[in-house]
């Protein structure tokens, strides 16, 4: 009985937290879209692909490639420009590979297989700080003064808790 109640409360708390807490809005990008990670798109393919997107901290890049035919290495900007495959920082040899953009820095990806980088299998990504890319909150100006975001969040929280408790309580009494 006590265990059931604890479980019910845990579920309610988790759902409420997931609903109310601000989302980090991490996005997932398939590098090269349907082309994937290979040199077939030509010399400027990944430059064009990267220019179409805005990357933020926490976003995930998905590199689709066949294991043993390509790989994914991060390198310095100098090595990237020269397609130097001897000084890799990280290297993933199993495809497909996910790479999380953890910092607001520039990342330089290449394939270390012979001639692949020079044929265009290279991707430079500049990551923005996630706080700088978030849109300004809407509706805050119409909310009562201090502190608008906290009060709206807590009223949202209590609304959801109320709804969830009305759902959870009957479940609780079933056990
Ligand atoms: Cu390759």
Q: Could you list the pLDDT tens digit for every one of the 175 residues in the chain?
A: 455 555 454 444 444 444 444 445 789 999 999 999 999 999 999 999 999 999 999 999 999 999 999 999 999 999 999 999 999 999 999 999 999 999 999 999 999 999 999 999 999 999 998 654 454 444 444 444 444 444 445 455 555 444 445 545 444 444 4
What is the per-residue pLDDT across 51-62, written as a single tens digit (0 to 9) for each? Answer: 999 999 999 999
Domain interval for residue 113: 28-130
When divided into structural domains, the chain yields a total of 1
Surrounding residues of ion ligand 1, Cβ less than 5 A: 70, 111, 113, 116, 121
Q: Tell me: the pLDDT tens digits for 94-128? A: 999 999 999 999 999 999 999 999 999 999 999 99
**CA-based nearest residue to 31, from 67, 52, 62, 53:** 62
Query: Does residue 137 lie in a domain region?
Result: no
Taking the centre of ligand 1 as the mean of its atom positions, its distance from the CA of residue 74, in whole angstroms, is 13
**Are 72 and 97 spatial neighbours (Cβ–Cβ below 8 Å)?**
yes
45 in any annotated domain: yes
Q: How many angstroms separate the CA atoms of 117 and 120, rounded?
A: 5
pTM to 2 decimals?
Answer: 0.63
The CATH number that applies at residue 53 is 2.60.40.420
What pLDDT, on a 0 to 100 scale, did the predictor assign at position 129?
83
Domain assignment present for residue 75? The answer is: yes
Structural domain contains residue 4? no
**Ligand 1 center–CA 133 separation, angstroms:** 32
Runs of H (alpha helix) within the chain:
2-20, 45-51, 77-82, 130-133, 148-174
Residue 122 Cα to ligand 1 middle (Å): 9
């Amino acid at each position: 009985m006590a265990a059931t109640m604890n479980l019910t409360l845990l579920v309610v708390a988790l759902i409420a937290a997931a609903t109310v807490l601000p989302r980090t809005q991490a996005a997932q990008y398939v590098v090269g879209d349907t082309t994937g990670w290979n040199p077939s798109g030509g010399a400027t393919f990944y430059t064009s692909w990267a220019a179409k997107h805005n990357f933020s901290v926490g976003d995930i890049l998905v590199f689709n490639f066949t294991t043993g035919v390509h790989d994914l290495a991060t390198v310095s900007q100098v090595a990237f420009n020269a397609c130097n495959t001897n000084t890799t920082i990280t290297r993933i040899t199993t495809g497909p590979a996910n790479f999380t953009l953890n910092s607001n820095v520039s990342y330089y990806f290449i394939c270390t297989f012979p001639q692949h980088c020079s044929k265009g299998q290279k991707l430079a990504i500049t990551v923005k700080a996630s706080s700088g890319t978030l849109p300004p909150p809407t509706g805050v100006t119409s909310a009562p003064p201090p502190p608008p975001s906290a009060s709206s969040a807590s009223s949202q929280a209590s609304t959801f808790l109320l709804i969830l408790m009305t759902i959870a309580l009957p479940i609780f009494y079933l056990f």
